[in-house]
């Protein structure tokens, strides 16, 4: 039984739509899983002190650092001594050991030049004091938000200087 040209075109079109839909769904799912994997690697809590809500807010902060400043945020909460990771030009590492009251910042080189040393020392002091009276997650959020605010202020003032220099 011969089929018309229109039925063949319709079948091929439907087949292509099904294939395109499958490829799109696969791509969306893969992107979702990669995002979750990358976000999960940003925060390492060996102490189990972070609640799911705190972890979620820290992941959101990590994404903000990445989108606003192209800086990967790495946080490690440990029961043992904190060892500094290999320093690179893109990662901000914040390690802390609540038991030993140890705090370690490892900044990317550009961020180190941008952020005033006094500001970093102040945030380190504030984080140590906060860990004595508040949950670890809340202290991390405060510290990372404050560092982000410093970076935003520095970025804004740099843009203002550039605009004034053009006039």
> How far apart, in whole angstroms, are the C-alpha atoms of residue 87 and residue 98?
23
pLDDT of residue 1: 56
32 in a domain, yes or no? no
> How far apart, in whole angstroms, are the C-alpha atoms of residue 89 and residue 112?
10
Range of the domain at 140: 42-166
83 in a domain, yes or no? yes
Q: Can you give the CATH number for the domain in which 79 is found?
A: 3.10.310.50
pLDDT of residue 155: 73
Residue 89 has pLDDT above 80, yes or no: yes
Number of domains in the chain: 1
Q: Which two tokens stand for residue 68?
A: 């606003």
Reported pTM: 0.68
pLDDT of residue 35: 64
| pLDDT tens per residue, range 2-44 | 678 999 999 999 999 999 999 999 998 888 777 666 554 688 8
């Amino acid at each position: 039984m011969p089929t018309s040209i229109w039925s063949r075109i319709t079948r091929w079109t439907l087949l292509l739509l099904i294939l395109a839909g499958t490829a799109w769904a696969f791509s969306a799912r893969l992107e979702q899983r990669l995002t979750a994997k990358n976000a999960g690697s940003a925060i390492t809590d060996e102490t189990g002190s972070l609640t799911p809500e705190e972890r979620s807010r820290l992941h959101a902060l990590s994404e903000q650092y990445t989108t606003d400043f192209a800086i990967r945020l790495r946080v490690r909460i440990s029961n043992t001594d904190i060892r500094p990771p290999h320093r690179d030009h893109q990662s901000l590492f914040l390690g802390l050991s609540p038991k030993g009251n140890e705090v370690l910042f490892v900044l990317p080189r550009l961020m180190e030049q941008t952020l005033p040393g006094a500001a970093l020392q102040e945030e380190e002091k504030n984080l140590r004091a906060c860990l004595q009276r508040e949950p670890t997650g809340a202290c991390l959020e405060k510290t990372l938000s404050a560092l982000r605010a410093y970076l935003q202020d520095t970025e804004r003032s740099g843009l203002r200087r550039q605009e004034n220099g053009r006039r």
